């Protein structure tokens, strides 16, 4: 997913690392970003945690558990002429 981020050459960037538990029991790790702020990356972790919330089978209310979890990584970008 391409991002348009205006930033200095040595700016810090952030990405969301999301681990999802699949219905077949497997797991998959996905990376979203880069983002120019830590808040934007945290928002993606929150989105997936809420989106994949485990629901009670009778009431369909969230149980407080989720099939997704994640964290934010910080990095820098090194630019080189292509």
Cα gap 51→38, rounded to integer Å: 20
Tens of pLDDT, residue by residue over 18-74, are: 999 998 999 999 999 999 899 999 999 999 999 999 999 999 998 999 999 999 999
Please say whether the beta carbons of 33 and 14 come within 8 A. yes
Instruction: Please report the beta strands in the chain, taking only residues with DSSP state E, as ranges in sequence order.
Output: 12-21, 27-35, 53-55, 62-66, 68-76
SS3 7: coil
pLDDT of residue 4: 57
Where are the domains positioned within the chain? Answer: 12-76
Tens of pLDDT, residue by residue over 35-45, are: 989 999 999 99
Cα gap 50→59, rounded to integer Å: 17
Instruction: With cut-offs at 50, 70 and 90, classify the pLDDT of residue 11.
Output: confident
Entry pTM: 0.82
């Amino acid at each position: 997913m391409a991002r348009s981020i205006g930033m200095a050459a040595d700016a810090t960037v952030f990405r969301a690392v999301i681990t999802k538990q699949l219905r077949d029991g497997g797991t998959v790790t996905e990376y979203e970003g880069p983002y120019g702020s830590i808040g934007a990356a945290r928002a993606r972790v929150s989105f997936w945690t809420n989106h994949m919330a485990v629901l009670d089978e009778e009431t369909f209310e969230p149980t407080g558990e989720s099939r997704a979890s994640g964290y934010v990584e910080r990095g820098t970008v090194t630019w080189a002429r292509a």
